[in-house]
Amino acid sequence: MTSVPRVLAVFDELLRGATREERGALWQLAEQGRELDANLVRLPPGGAVGAHQEDVLDVLLVAVAGDGRIEAGDDSLELTPGTVAWLPRTSRRALAAGPDGLAYLTVHRRRPGLTIKPPASAPAVTAPVRAPSYEGGEAPCMLDLVCPACGRLSRDPEPVFCSRCGERFAQG
């Protein structure tokens, strides 16, 4: 693989092409071999991402267009174009768009891929085994944990909003 710097997106063009009510990720960093994840997210006027907590990753948020605020406990942090906010892991926060909507870029370390691990009670295997003694895996259906907008699997057992794009999960 040859690493060559290149332009991946022009945010002004992506935002011009979005409708006023469009919500969710307008762009995502998707290059192979990357160590970062980045998303350009758009919230419509008055839109919100409910209170949530990211337990694994620090997130850098850069307001690109519109305005809004981050609600973090008793604090309200104003967001205008060019504002850069650090959302440390384990911090609880919510986002709210102003009357013109809010577009923001999030950047964080790439999430490790999902893996299947045996339960702690499974015996350690030290020699090749013909038939696996543990087949592992997740519950048969996890569709209620998959964001309907961006496809991210939520780590929250009862998600309300996607922490990547802000889309509301269907309430069953």
Percent of the chain clearing pLDDT 70 (strictly above): 79
Q: How confident is the model at residue 163 (pLDDT cuts 50, 70, 90)?
A: confident
What is the model's pLDDT at position 171? Answer: 66
Residue 125: exposure state from Cβ atoms within 10 A (0-12, 13-18, ≥19): exposed
DSSP conformation letters of 108-162: EEPPPPP-----TTSPPP-S--SS-S------S--GGGB-TTT-PBPSSSS-SB-
pTM over 0.75: no
CB atoms within 10 A of CB 153: 14
Tens-place pLDDT, residues 33-85: 888 999 999 999 999 999 988 888 899 999 999 999 999 989 999 999 999 99
Tens-place pLDDT, residues 120-156: 665 555 545 444 444 444 445 666 778 877 778 887 7
What is the model's pLDDT at position 61? Answer: 96
> What topology does CATH give the domain 11-110?
Jelly Rolls (2.60.120)
CB atoms within 10 A of CB 31: 9
45-82 in b/e form (b: 16+ CB < 10 A) is eebbbbebebeeeebebbbbbbbbbbbeeeeeeebeee
The domain locations on the chain are 11-110
From residue 60, alpha-carbon distances to 22, 37, 49, 69, 106 in Å are 22, 11, 16, 15, 6
